[in-house]
Structure 1
Amino acid sequence: MFWKIARYSVILFFGLVVFSCSEYQKALKDTDVSRRYEYAQKMYDEGDYKKANRLFEAIAPQFVGKPQGERVMFFLADSYYQIGDYNFAGYQFERFLKSYPRSDKAPEAAFLGAKSYYMLSPRYSLDQTDTDKALTKLQLFINAYPESENLPEANAMAQELTTKKEKKAFEIAKQFVKLGEYYVLDYNLSAISSLDNFVNDHPGSIYREEALFQKFRATVNLAVNSTFRKRKERLDEALVAYENLMRSYPETEFSDDAEKLYEVLQEELSKYTELEKLAK
């Protein structure tokens, strides 16, 4: 009995699938745009976004300027979003907002359009063009709809993308510090300049503490490898970098390494003082 019921269930299931597919193919070929619209809406409501997307894409041009055009354009954009085609989703949501800026769906379209670009944002080490676009779209949404229920998520996404961009800038500066251990002059100067710019441009960054430590590291490395004529000036600059780190983060997690570098700095200052005396 059980196997008979199971068999009929399987047959019924495949029958429904075949019927659904034939109905869908019929809708694709139907010349009646109203029937195609109704079937596209049905597919969308049932969560079959791929079929809905194809149908909305086909009928959208025929609804331009018509009362249903607003719904068609929104559902077309959202169906792209639902199937994970974020490039087209972002583009279609932009089109929707330009065509229907006063729509009741405008806040949702602005949010989902921004989120589409957020989804396209790559890992920090890659080109951040999509990240920049996502941040712009998120900021526009945040400014335009401060009372939106999606505001917390928009703020969280914007913060995540901002941190990603900060990480990219910081990692570039850190790479200069590492290279400065082998190619002292140019790379340490680049590291110090990059880290200064980073701290000034991102005062609230989660990487600020390490940035101050890395600057101290680079200034020490530059100073101890400088000519006698430049050494005192650069040793003093390294001392200032150490004081800035300790003043900002007295309990810094880099205290052990910072203290070792500080000891090197003090030794170099003592050596310089002795050499200066002998020079006189």
Structure 2
Amino acid sequence: MFLKRPHIALLFVSILLLSACSSKFMKLQKKGTTDEKYKAANEYYKKGDYYKAGTLFEEIVPLLKGDSLAEIAQFYNAYSQYQQRQYSMSAYLFKSFYATYANSPKAEEAFYMYANSMYKDAPNFNLDQSSTITAIDALQTFINSFPDSKYAENCVADLKDLRHRLEQKAYEKAKLYYKTSGVTIANFKAAVVAIDNFQKDFPDSEYIEELSFLKVQSQYDLASVSFENKQKERFTDALKFQEEFVDKFPKSKYLKQAEKIYEGSTKGLEKAVKYEQEVKELKAKEAARVAKEKEEASKKEEKPGDSKP
């Protein structure tokens, strides 16, 4: 029957071989000596079976403390995790190797692989970037420690990529504040602050022109919906941001919109100044009225009564 269906025969043989290999590996785990496990782990590693290699290396590393084989076992255990894309674990193991064997010929490579594992573990820009910042620190520390390393160029490229992720994250965050700024005054403020921070952190970004304009727009919108006693300051800031934008981007595609904002901010500021003046006049009149009433009350108290001597 198997001769008529060779693919079934081949599948059957493969299953038998896998079963035999699995049985051999389990037997090695249970009854194998440390030397046997070390030798098998190296063979599995060379064959690219990083799961079995890593499993055995992990078992024997604690047993090899003080042994000359401990260093290489720990090093390849870290690589086994890396090859399985267990980057968080490989980062931990490579860092631990460097801390334990700082004078090892493999110390530099271990430090680089720690930084590289952190880079591989960093998320896309739209997710939390805490680990990205840690990866940037690791890569920069490696470059500072080994400036002439053959890995330095790779670290520079990885740093550029990670910083671009932070840039995109900051850009999307600022845009989100702007898009939702119509909800509350707090959102208008948050948009201005987020864009201001972006300008400081990424002055050469490809997004800087767009966000600089959105900062002008956000500040103008904030001033427009503010209470009258806040408008003078906020329209003044809108005009300042608009002038800074035009000076930096005199040929911007947002120039016409910026000019309209300038006109609107100027009118808004004039109204705000007028309102402020009216409030001052009203306060002055009220103060004068109160003072007059006090004066009249004081005169009445000083007037002599009709009582007999």
* Cα pair 1:220 1:235 within 8 Å, conserved: yes
**Residues of 1 paired with 2:274 and 2:96: CA distance?**
75
Match of 2:47 in 1: 46
**Residues of 2 paired with 1:5 and 1:153: CA distance?**
49
* Cα pair 1:89 1:113 within 8 Å, conserved: yes
Aligned ranges for residues 24-103 of structure 1 at < 5 Å? 24-103=25-104
Q: Any idea what SS the aligned residue of 1:65 has?
A: coil
Report which of the two structures shows the higher radius of gyration computed on alpha carbons. 2
Aligned pair in 2 of structure 1 residues 4, 266: CA closer, same or farther (>3 Å)? closer
Match of 2:286 in 1: none
Q: CA RMSD in A?
A: 3.0
Match of 1:211 in 2: 211
Q: Any idea what SS the aligned residue of 1:218 has?
A: helix
1:247-271 CA-to-partner distances (Å, cap 9, x unmatched) read 333343xx24x42242143145247
Aligned pair in 2 of structure 1 residues 250, 64: CA closer, same or farther (>3 Å)? farther
Aligned length: 275
- The code of the aligned residue for 1:235 comes to F
* Cα pair 2:228 2:272 within 8 Å, conserved: no
* Cα pair 1:30 1:36 within 8 Å, conserved: no
1:191-237 CA-to-partner distances (Å, cap 9, x unmatched) read 22332233223333343223212211112212333455544543332
**Residues of 1 paired with 2:264 and 2:36: CA distance?**
86
- The code of the aligned residue for 1:87 comes to S
Superposition deviation, residue 122 in structure 1:
2.3
What 5-or-longer segments of structure 1 have no aligned partner? none
Superposition deviation, residue 60 in structure 1:
0.7
**Residues of 1 paired with 2:7 and 2:260: CA distance?**
80
Aligned ranges for residues 99-248 of structure 1 at < 5 Å? 99-184=100-185, 186-228=186-228, 230-248=230-248
- The code of the aligned residue for 1:26 comes to K
TM-score normalised to the size of structure 1?
Answer: 0.83
* Cα pair 2:174 2:191 within 8 Å, conserved: yes
- The code of the aligned residue for 1:167 comes to Q
Superposition deviation, residue 129 in structure 1:
2.4
Match of 1:260 in 2: 257
Moved more, 33-42 or 7-16: 7-16
* Cα pair 2:111 2:142 within 8 Å, conserved: yes
* Cα pair 2:239 2:265 within 8 Å, conserved: no
- Which one of 264, 269, 272 corresponds to residue 266 of structure 2? 269
* Cα pair 1:232 1:269 within 8 Å, conserved: no
**Residues of 2 paired with 1:46 and 1:52: CA distance?**
9
Q: Give percent identity, aligned residues only.
A: 30
Moved more, 90-99 or 226-235: 226-235
Aligned pair in 2 of structure 1 residues 274, 24: CA closer, same or farther (>3 Å)? closer
* Cα pair 1:73 1:96 within 8 Å, conserved: yes
TM-score normalised to the size of structure 2?
Answer: 0.76
Superposition deviation, residue 6 in structure 1:
7.2
**Residues of 2 paired with 1:6 and 1:179: CA distance?**
61
